[in-house]
Amino acid sequence: MITGSAAAQWDLELDDLFLTIGHRLGRVELRRRMRDYARGLLAPVVRKNSWQLAEQAGHRTPNGLQHLLAGSKWQPDDIRDDLQEYIAHKLGEADGVLIIDDTGFIKKGTTSAGVQRQYSGTAGRTENCQIGVFAAYASANGRALADRELYLPKSWAEDRERCRTAKVPDEREFATKGELARHMVLRALASPLPIAWVTADSAYGQDNRLRRMLEQSGVGYVLAVPKPQFTAGCSRIEGLFAQAPDEAWEKISCGDGAKGPRVYHWAAVRLPAVAEFDYQGEVPYRMRWALARRSVSNPDEIAYFLAYAPLHVTVQELVRVAGARWAIEECFQAAKNECGLDQYEIRRYTGWYRHITLAMLAFLAATAHQAGEKGAEQVRRPGPSGSQWRRFGDSWQLVFPGPRT
C-alpha cells in the first residue's frame, strides 16, 4: 500500500510532468481531469478504477474520468513522446539500456480489445487476457516504462466487425509481438532517449530480424536466446560452452535483486566477425559474443545470450546489460501494485492506450522522484572446429581462428 507521505512526494513530481505535457491538452478542464486521474493512480486507493479515482479526486460521479479515457480529444502517443523526453532528461545516461518484454492483463469476457485465451507469462499459464508489449528504459539513475503496444491476436485482426465494436482502427492489422517490439525500438532510437544497449528475453532475442535491425542501427545488444539457437561455429549455442573448463566460469553479479546481488557463474565466447556489420572499411569496430549464465546452486540451469558490442567492452559490462532485463519486471510489478497499471475497466482499444499511458506517467513521477532523492553442470560435446579456449586477463573465452567474411 502506498503511504500518504510517498503519494504527496510523488505528487510534486507530477507538477513538473504536467508542465511538459500541458501543450498537448487544449482545454483546461481536460488538463484538470488528467491531473486528477494521474494523482489518483499515485494515491493510496485500494482499487484504482474510475469510481474510486473519482472519489479520491472529490468528483461526485466518475463520468468525467470515464470521458477522459473514452470520449475526450487527446492523443496518447503524443503523451508517450513527451514521457520519453522527460525520461531522457531525468534518467538518461550514455550507457542506458532499452528493455523489451510483455505482460498479461487478466480479463473476463470476450469484448475487450485483443482479449482471448492466450499464454500469459505473468500468470504462467493460458488465461483469458490481454497482452501488452512494453519497452522500459534503465540507467544508473532509475528505470521507467517508455512505450507500449497492445497485442492484437490474429483472430481479432481478421474479424473487422469485432474490431470496429472495440474501436480498433481500421488500419490496425495483425502484427506479431516481435514486430511490435521492433517498431518500439525504432521509435525509441529516434527519440531523445540515450540508448547504448537493447536487451530482452529469448522470446524476442531469437528474432533474427530484431538483431539485424540493431546491428544496422549500430546499437549494442545482449539478448537471451534458447539453447538450440544457431550461432557461428556451432549448430546450437549450448555446444559452444560444452568444452569450457571449470576455470572459464567466473562468478559475477549481474545487479542487485530483492535479496541482494544476483550472482551467477558466467562464461564468454568471442564469435567471428561479420564483415557487413562489424567493420568500417578494413577496420573492425564491433565484436560479437555468446554468453552463458549458470546457476551457482544448480549447475544444470544455464541460460544463453547473444551480444553485439563495441570492441572495448568487457565481460562484466555485458553481464550488467544482461542483468538489466530484470528492471522491466520490476517496473511491471511496481506499476501494477502502485499505479494501477492493470486495474482498468476498459473495453475499447483507445481507452487501453490512454489508461496505460497515464499509468506510465504516474509511475514515471514516482521513479523520477526516487532518482532525484538518490542524487541520482556441463555436457561434453565436440567444440567448434578450429576454436579453442584461452585465458584473457582474468577471464576465459572461446576464440575462433579468424573473421567470417
Give 324-353 pLDDT, tens digit per residue: 999 999 999 999 998 999 998 889 999 999
Contact (CB, 8 A) for 404 and 252:
no
Would you mind telling me the total number of residues written for the chain in this entry?
Answer: 405
- Range from 70-74, 75-79, 331-335 carrying the lowest mean pLDDT: 70-74
Q: What is the pLDDT of residue 380?
A: 35
Separation in Å, CA 262 to CA 99, 200, 258, 294, 354: 18, 17, 9, 12, 35
131 alpha-carbon distance from chain centroid: 14
Q: Rounded distance, CA 379 to CA 50, Å?
A: 55
Contact (CB, 8 A) for 211 and 223:
yes
pTM across the whole model: 0.89
Residue 251 DSSP symbol: E
Q: What is the pLDDT of residue 29?
A: 87
Neighbours of 16 (CB within 10 A): 14
Quick check: 283 pLDDT over 50?
A: yes
Neighbours of 287 (CB within 10 A): 17
Q: List Cβ neighbours of 287 (8 Å cut-off, separation of 6 or more).
A: 270, 273, 278, 308, 309, 310, 311, 313
Question: Can you tell me the mean pLDDT for 189-198?
Answer: 98
> 232: helix, coil or strand?
coil
Quick check: 318 pLDDT over 70?
A: yes
C-alpha cell at 279: 567493420
Q: List Cβ neighbours of 230 (8 Å cut-off, separation of 6 or more).
A: 236, 237
pLDDT digits 0-9 by tens, 145-174: 999 999 999 999 999 999 999 999 999 999
Q: Rounded distance, CA 17 to CA 22, Å?
A: 8
